């Protein structure tokens, strides 16, 4: 199976992956699910966490990972996506891909004969959601909590909204009008049993929330929109300051752009649980790879 969106897993499969991740983190299970296996990792965009946590995770599971940056393979310039999918499938046991266009991971998934994992597209970041849910379960002992999303309603937010719906976590999403979550994602969240609230008012979202989650205002590939986006988010009060955060835990998928979506003081405060969240990428993805390859 492929993991292109968080809801490619059923609720039961999601629970299995999270539980496996917790057991791996606690050292309660043998980590050899990738013995003799190789993972191809395609990156059209930069990455710190995704690249290093996947590569380290593969090693820790007894396998091997190959990093394929934009200048290393023909994908996107000399070869159709479907041909890359078919050739890589003859060598490796799993493909992880970070690309711009979500349709490209769908095409990889359609033509590959090994599992394809989405390591971030412009629309979704399901591996991040696995780590987010793991972090929230550690923080609150379950999912009986409300998280305020304050920021852009794009990839990280969209996967988080769907993942939250799957586990029964309440989410209030504050975005500027022009950068809201896609209607299709909200409809899918409702199908999954979620009732995400949406607003354009960050203070209203945070009020009554148990934790606050934000992401950069200018995502990779949006550099030409930088001035416009900064102006909208800043004037609409979307920066996470210590005052807005209060004593709530702060989540951020990282990288953080201090002085833009979050102040240095807020992310350096004891409320930030962003390093646990980053660490959980490793455990969550090991849980996922164990599930996909077993
Ligand atoms: N959160 C995340 O995916 O980080 P990287 O861009 O560093 O991989
Ligand atoms: N929204 C950000 C997330 C980075 C992990 C981006 O797409 O650049």
The stretch 222-231 carries a mean pLDDT of 98
User: From the CA of 41, which ligand is nearest?
Assistant: 1
d(CA 165, CA 129): 12
Residues 182 and 93 in one domain: no
Can you tell me whether residue 59 is helix, strand or coil?
A: helix
Contact 138, 162 (CB under 8 A): no
d(CA 194, CA 104): 28
**DSSP count for the chain of H helices, then E strands:** 12, 9
Residues 81 and 132 in one domain: no
- 215 as an active site residue: the answer is yes
- Residue 29: the pLDDT is 81
**Feature table: binding site for L-ornithine:** 155, 215, 219-220
- Domain total in the chain: 2
> Is residue 18 domain-resident?
yes
- The confidence band for 77, taking pLDDT boundaries of 50, 70 and 90, is confident
Residues 116 and 230 in one domain: no
Q: What is the CATH number of the domain that holds 181?
A: 3.40.50.1370
Separation of CA 52 and ligand 1 centre (Å): 9
Q: Which member of 253, 277, 283, 285 is catalytic?
A: 253
The ipTM, to two decimals, is 0.99
The string of pLDDT tens digits covering residues 168-183 is: 999 999 999 999 999 9
Q: DSSP string of 156-172? A: HHHHHHHHHHHHT-EEE
Residues 219 and 166 in one domain: yes
Structure token pair of residue 116? 């394809």
253 CB less than 6 Å from ligand 1?
yes
């Amino acid at each position: 199976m492929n993991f292109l969106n968080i809801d490619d897993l059923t609720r039961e499969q999601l629970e299995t992956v999270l539980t496996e991740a917790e057991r791996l983190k606690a050292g309660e299970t043998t980590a050899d699910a990738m013995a003799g296996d190789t993972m191809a990792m395609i990156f059209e965009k930069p990455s710190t966490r995704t690249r290093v946590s996947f590569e380290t995770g593969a090693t820790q599971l007894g396998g091997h990972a190959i990093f394929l940056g934009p200048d290393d393979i023909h994908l996107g310039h000399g070869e159709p996506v479907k041909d890359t999918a078919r050739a890589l499938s003859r060598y490796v046991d799993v493909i992880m891909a970070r690309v711009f266009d979500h349709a490209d991971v769908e095409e990889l998934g359609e033509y590959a004969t090994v599992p394809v994992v989405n390591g971030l597209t412009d629309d979704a970041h399901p591996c991040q959601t696995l780590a987010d849910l793991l972090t929230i379960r550690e923080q609150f002992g379950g999912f009986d909590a409300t998280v305020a999303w304050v920021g852009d309603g794009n990839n990280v937010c969209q996967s988080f909204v769907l993942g939250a719906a799957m586990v029964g976590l309440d989410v209030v999403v504050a975005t500027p009008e022009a950068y809201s979550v896609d209607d299709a994602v909200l409809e899918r969240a409702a199908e999954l049993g979620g009732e995400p609230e949406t607003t354009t008012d960050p203070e209203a979202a945070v009020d009554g929330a148990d934790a606050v989650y934000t992401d950069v205002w200018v995502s990779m590939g949006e550099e030409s929109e930088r001035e416009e986006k900064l102006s909208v988010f800043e004037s609409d009060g979307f920066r996470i300051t210590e005052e807005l955060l209060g004593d709530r835990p702060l989540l951020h998928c990282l990288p953080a752009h201090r002085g833009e979506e979050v102040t240095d003081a807020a992310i350096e405060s004891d409320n930030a649980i962003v390093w646990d969240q980053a660490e959980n990428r490793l455990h969550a993805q090991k849980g996922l790879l164990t599930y996909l390859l077993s």
